[in-house]
């Protein structure tokens, strides 16, 4: 029997086998019979004990050939490995299908893996539907929520978004699902203002409305967390108390000077407002805080008062709200922009919109009885299309976040400064393995670009330093990414004079066109906002007969039906993926994580056995790209790097490094041509360059000579370029090394004194050397329009 026939037979038999183990047993059995494979078998036996040590989840078998030294057997081992991969993949699918079927039948309905029509089917539906009941413009949290609310009540619904779902404000929040402890404090502070003594009833009314808003936020926080354990989690947040009397007082009122003493009681009251549905607030002593967060400058703190808020991956939640609307029957499309409003010539009422498919350039009409604008901070832009003379309704305010390495926020504990140098709240939160710090507050018109001003990054770094010991400086080079978003602060332009200004969201109808807009509010309250706006639409359009009651308070978002906390463990057991990856997949796709894993390829490693990473250090899998393109309307490389994975938000250097690989995978899934792929790559790299990173934009622009280039590479200002700095800078400057070997060779070439670091003298010598025709020098010169010939001989002469 030839080896090939044997392999084919094995493949045939494995398709009928019901378990992964069975396929492996066959593989081993076969290898013992063939002299060529005896070594492969002994290789596997040899590595068995080693693997058992490496990997507690693994029975000890391996697909890889890592330890295989003998040249004579290498081809046989490779063949075995390849066959093993095929077999385990085939058997894997079988096992997984059986497992998924079992889960689907279990506990009252089991898991639901609903398919969504493709984007082209969605566009076709937008074009061919003669008239929708409701058309929503804007696919952030608010618009996607409105579409979901309308569709789940049985109204025929359409949703269009000009970019990817949630790509604007809804992906740039602090990621908290928070009930608004600050609003309570602000409300108390304004109630107790001296001037309110003359208007006690109005003051009480304002306080009541603020209090009700916070109660509403508590309710929404509970609903979002209870219904969607796959997308949300609780995060503990500690407030350090360093002085018993705080002066100047937080929230600008003397009563809050005693806040340090009152915090534990305030947090208990806050827990109570949420019906004690969150983990209980508590006090943490200095020693415990030091154990949990050793980096803290804790010698000054008397104690820490801890409370809990919800947390999520905001862009992901927005995408899943939009896709859940599609599951409920709405026609939903990203990259479709509203470019005009169609009005009835006689009545002037809006009857639809002119839309443009931003990918194909096709223009088409979408007709609807009711139109809702949900453009967040861009709502006035939409309203101006409808009525160029409209009064503004949104006053946007920018907020910046920086992202630092995870070790600044260890063991899942966040921190909150309730009294920063400018009197704001500043969060220090663990998120996706990193630390988010934010935010600032600066009034100004909303723009789409994510890049924040350098002075805001510096301010945030300065505020962080207060909490860390002097021996742990937070450096500019620690900033992995930085981005800004615009809060949609709203006022109602159609309100009668003297009407109270809402501090929450506003819903307003243009009496001339009948178009409703909704803006303001918070991420946390998106569902309540959606319910309110659709209630209003139903009432205004007489949809009462066809629309049912709102059901979104009971609805689980996509991937949530059948999800339980053991999904990550089941993923590890079934697929042999790493725990980090399993956790990430479960918390991103819910029960659809099984489908993502099913697409994952074998790694040929001991562990993890399945799931090749997009980039080292992050749990994202290659198979997620194919899954998102085929099942979740992912269309551009920029989306994949920003909203689908969060790489650009977490680490702009890593995003840049992963971009070419993701472009290849997307090209394969979406059938991009070579020029399309190049185009996508250029666009994505341009957007990523707007995110902040370890090197300030100013510094990049200020490189004019060899000294300033050296300084830009010397991230920690030590006077030397270390290996990691060289790699990080070269990535960041857009000329990444193609391999570890290339990076090492370049470093060794520069490290003339062989002391594992590069001084300015060595750097100059390397650059000036006539023999130096390296790709790095040429790339840097070309990218920054620097002429290598004009580098003076050790003179630090100007580039280009």
Tell me how far CA of residue 200 lies from CA of 188, 196, 205, 498, 671, in angstroms: 13, 6, 9, 17, 67
Nearest to 484 by CA among 377, 392, 560: 377
**Does 141 interact with ligand FAD (rule: CB under 6 A)?**
yes
Of 450 and 736, the one with the shorter C-beta distance to ligand FAD is 450
Binding mask 643-682 for ligand FAD (x = CB under 6 A): ----------------------------------------
Which residue's structure tokens are 């010169």?
781
Rule CB under 6 A: which of 334-363 touch ligand FAD? 337-338
Paired tokens of 133: 């009941």
Q: Is 477 exposed, middle or buried (0-12, 13-18, 19+ CB in 10 A)?
A: middle
In the complex, minimum distance from the CB of residue 336 to ligand FAD, in angstroms, rounded to a whole number = 7
| 483 lies in the binding site for ligand FAD (CB under 6 A) | no
The only residue of 382, 409, 629, 721 in contact with ligand FAD, by rule CB under 6 A: 382
Whole-number minimum distance, CB 744 to ligand FAD, in Å? 40
> Please, is 58 exposed, middle or buried when counting C-beta atoms within 10 Å of its C-beta (0-12, 13-18, 19+)?
middle
**What number of other Cβ atoms are within 10 A of residue 782's Cβ?**
12
Residue 120-139 contact track with ligand FAD, rule CB under 6 A, x = bound: -----------------xxx
Q: Restricting to residues 540-599, which ones interact with ligand FAD according to CB under 6 A? A: none
Distance of closest approach, residue 318 Cβ to ligand FAD, in angstroms: 7
CA–CA dist 372, 380 (Å, integer): 13
Taking the least distance from each CB to ligand FAD, the nearer of 47 and 439 is: 439
DSSP per position, 103-150:
HHHSTTT---------HHHHHHHHHH-S-EEEEEE--SHHHHHHHHHH
Site for ligand FAD in 38-97 (CB under 6 A): none
| Binding of ligand FAD by 375 (CB under 6 A) | yes
Please name which of 643, 730, 732 lies closest in space to residue 693, comparing C-alpha atoms: 732
The mark string for 756-795 relative to ligand FAD (x by CB under 6 A, - otherwise) is: ----------------------------------------
CB of residue 322 vs ligand FAD: minimum separation in angstroms?
10
- The yes or no reply on residue 452 touching ligand FAD (CB under 6 A) is no
The H-assigned helical ranges of 394-542 are 454-465, 526-541
CA 383 to chain centre: 29
Strand partners, 212: none
CB nearer ligand FAD, residue 202 or residue 387:
387
Q: Would you give the binding string for ligand FAD spanning residues 387-406, x where CB under 6 A is met? A: ------------x-------
- Which one of 127-135, 160-168, 547-555, 578-586 is the stretch in contact with ligand FAD (CB under 6 A)? 160-168
CB 634 within 8 Å of CB 641: no
Strands (E), 504-648: 505-509, 516-520
Decide if residue 506 touches ligand FAD (CB under 6 A).
no
Nearer to ligand FAD, 238 or 322 (CB): 322
- The answer to whether 167 contacts ligand FAD (rule: CB under 6 A) is yes
Q: Is 320 a binder of ligand FAD (CB under 6 A)?
A: no
Q: Is 642 in the site for ligand FAD (CB under 6 A)?
A: no
Terminal alpha carbon distance of the chain: 69
Least separation in angstroms between CB 483 and ligand FAD:
9
**Of positions 84, 163, 451, 693, contacts ligand FAD by CB under 6 A:** 163
DSSP 334: S
**CA dist list (Å): 22 to 11, 87, 304, 453:** 12, 10, 55, 59
Short-list 56, 57, 54, CA closest to 66? 54
Q: Of 101-109, 172-180, 474-482, 540-548, which segment contacts ligand FAD by CB under 6 A? A: 172-180
Specify the residue, 39 or 122, whose C-beta has the smaller distance to ligand FAD. Answer: 122
Encoded tokens for 385: 């299309």
485 near ligand FAD (CB under 6 A): yes
Cα torsion for 707, 713, 717, 721, to the nearest 10°?
Answer: -100
Binding positions for ligand FAD, rule: CB under 6 A: 137-143, 160-163, 166-170, 172-176, 178, 337-338, 374-378, 381-382, 399, 439, 485-488, 521-524
């Amino acid at each position: 029997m030839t080896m090939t026939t044997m392999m084919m037979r094995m493949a045939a038999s494995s398709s009928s086998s019901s378990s992964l183990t069975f396929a492996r047993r066959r593989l081993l059995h076969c290898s013992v019979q063939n002299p060529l494979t005896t070594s492969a078998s002994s290789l596997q036996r040899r590595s068995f004990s080693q693997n058992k040590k490496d990997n507690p989840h693994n029975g000890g078998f391996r697909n890889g050939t890592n330890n295989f030294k003998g040249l004579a057997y290498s081809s046989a081992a490779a063949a075995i490995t390849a066959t093993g991969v095929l077999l385990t993949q085939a058997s894997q699918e079988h096992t997984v299908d059986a497992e998924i079927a079992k889960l689907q039948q279990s506990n009252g309905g089991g898991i639901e893996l609903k398919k969504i029509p493709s984007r082209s089917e969605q566009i076709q539906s937008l074009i061919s539907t003669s008239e929708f009941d409701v058309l929503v413009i804007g696919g952030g949290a608010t618009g996607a929520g409105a579409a979901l609310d309308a569709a789940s009540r049985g109204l025929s619904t359409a949703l269009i978004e000009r970019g990817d779902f949630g790509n604007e404000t809804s992906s740039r929040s602090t990621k908290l699902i928070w009930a608004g402890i600050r609003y309570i404090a602000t409300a108390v502070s304004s109630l107790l203002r001296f001037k309110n003594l003359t208007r006690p009833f109005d003051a009480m009314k304002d306080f009541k409305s603020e209090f009700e808003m916070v109660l509403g936020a508590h309710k929404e926080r509970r609903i979002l967390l209870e219904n969607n354990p796959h997308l949300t989690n609780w995060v503990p947040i500690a407030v350090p108390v360093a002085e018993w009397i705080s002066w100047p007082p937080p929230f600008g009122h003397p009563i809050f000077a005693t806040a340090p003493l009152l915090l534990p009681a305030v947090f208990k009251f806050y827990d109570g407002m949420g019906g004690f549905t969150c983990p209980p607030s508590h006090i943490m002593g200095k020693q415990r805080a030091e154990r949990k967060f050793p980096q803290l400058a804790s010698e000054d703190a008397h104690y820490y008062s801890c409370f809990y808020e919800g947390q999520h991956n905001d862009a992901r939640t927005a995408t899943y709200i939009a896709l859940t609307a599609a599951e409920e029957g709405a026609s939903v499309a990203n990259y479709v922009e509203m470019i005009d409003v169609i009005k009835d010539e006689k009545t002037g009422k809006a009857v639809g919109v002119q839309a443009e498919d931003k990918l194909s350039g096709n223009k088409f009409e979408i007709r609807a009885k009711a139109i809702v604008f949900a453009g967040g901070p861009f709502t006035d832009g939409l309203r101006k299309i409808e009525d160029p003379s409209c009064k503004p309704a949104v006053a946007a305010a920018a907020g910046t976040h920086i992202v630092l390495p995870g070790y600044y926020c260890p063991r899942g504990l966040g921190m909150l400064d309730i009294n920063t140098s400018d009197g704001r709240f500043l969060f220090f939160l663990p998120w996706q393995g990193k630390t988010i710090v934010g935010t600032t507050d600066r009034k100004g018109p909303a723009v789409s670009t994510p890049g924040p001003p350098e002075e805001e990054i510096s301010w945030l770094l300065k505020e962080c330093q207060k909490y860390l010991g002097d021996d742990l400086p937070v450096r500019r080079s620690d900033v992995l990414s930085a981005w800004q978003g615009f809060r949609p602060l709203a006022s109602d332009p159609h309100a009668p004079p003297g009407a109270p200004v809402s501090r929450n969201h506003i819903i307003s109808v243009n009496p001339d066109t009948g178009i409703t807009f909704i803006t303001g509010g918070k991420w946390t309250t998106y569902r309540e906002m959606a319910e309110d706006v659709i209630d209003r639409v139903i009432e205004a359009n007489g949809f009462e007969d066809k629309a049912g009651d709102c059901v979104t308070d009971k609805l689980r978002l996509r991937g949530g039906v059948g999800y339980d906390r053991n999904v990550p463990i089941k993923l590890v057991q079934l697929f042999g993926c790493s725990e980090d990856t399993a956790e990430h997949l479960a918390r991103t796709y819910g029960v659809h994580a099984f489908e993502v894993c099913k697409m994952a390829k074998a790694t040929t490693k001991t562990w993890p056995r399945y799931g090749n990473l997009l980039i080292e250090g992050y749990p994202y899998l290659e198979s997620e790209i194919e899954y998102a393109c085929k099942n979740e309307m992912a269309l551009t490389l920029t989306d994949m790097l920003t909203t689908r994975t969060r790489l650009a938000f977490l680490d702009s250097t890593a995003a840049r490094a992963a971009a070419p690989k993701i472009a290849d995978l997307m090209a394969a899934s979406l059938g991009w041509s070579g020029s399309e792929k190049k185009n996508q790559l250029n666009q994505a790299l341009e957007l990523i360059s707007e995110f902040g990173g370890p090197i300030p934009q100013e510094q990049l622009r200020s490189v004019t000579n060899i000294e300033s280039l050296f300084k830009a590479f010397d991230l920690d200002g030590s006077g030397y370029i270390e290996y990691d700095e060289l790699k990080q800078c070269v990535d960041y400057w857009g000329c990444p090394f193609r391999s570890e070997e290339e990076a090492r060779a370049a470093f060794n070439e520069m490290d003339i004194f062989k002391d594992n670091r590069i001084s300015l003298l060595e750097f100059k010598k390397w650059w000036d050397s006539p023999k130096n025709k390296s790709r790095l020098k040429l790339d840097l010169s070309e990218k920054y329009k620097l002429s290598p010939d004009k580098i003076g001989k050790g003179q630090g002469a100007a580039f280009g």
